[in-house]
Amino acid sequence: MTSKIDVSIDDKGNVSAKVYGARTCWAKIDRPEPDMDEATGLARMNDDGTPRMKWRTQLLVPKSAPGVTELRTAAEALRKRNGGAGKLAAIKDGDAEIARLVGEGKRPEDLELYRGMAILSASSSRRPDIRGTDIYSGCEVAAGIRLHWYEAKGNKGIAAYLNAIVKTGPGERIGGGGMTADDLGVAEYREEPADPLSGSRGSVPGPDDWGT
């Protein structure tokens, strides 16, 4: 699928975008993770006492793709309407991100996937509309996102909600992996099934076997 971004801005200035032909990175879609509070290091909780989960991914699109410049311009305009300060967390320049991460000690060879890319970061604490299974880091997707202003605990800027994501094709997995259980070359352990009529636990000894 050809990479492109269709940007829409409504009469209230809300910015949404349809992203096509993107490659996922750091994808937490099939297995969302707890939404952690950076200040406390603890998971945020729902009203029912269960951990609040977060679905997230980076979407990598070539910087030359149609719509990338429009999305960045819309993000900068949204930031300006909110005072002009803060991070553009929703869209970053991949080459600039490589330079920043190398300066922090990361290996350049681990960051080549960012070269020449725009990095869109999107997340949601509500389950987005997900179509397709095994949305792993490296596969091809289309996604619907919406930009928003955030300000909390000294941090502020432009982020993106992940509203929908559709797996549109395979791709080379990012971040190692690729090994399956079959690659280990060992048999799966299976317990001897219990006899439901006799109450036996198979070969597992019960109290009657212990003696007194």
Give residue-wise pLDDT tens across range 115-124: 999 999 999 9
User: Residue 37 — very low, low, confident or very high, per pLDDT cuts 50/70/90?
Assistant: confident
pLDDT-derived band at 134, boundaries 50, 70, 90: very high
Residue 199: is its pLDDT beyond 70?
no
What are the residues whose beta carbons fall under 8 Å from the beta carbon of 35, sequence distance 6 or more?
43, 44, 51, 52, 53, 54, 125
**Coil, strand or helix at 72:** helix
C-beta of residue 5 within 8 angstroms of C-beta of residue 17:
yes
pLDDT tens-digit series, residues 66-107: 999 999 999 999 999 999 889 999 999 999 999 999 999 999
CB 130 within 8 A of CB 29: yes
CA–CA dist 47, 30 (Å, integer)? 23
**97 close to 114: Cβ distance less than 8 angstroms:** yes
Neighbours of 1 (CB within 10 A): 11
Tokens describing residue 111: 């960051």
Under 8 Å between Cβ of 74 and 6: no
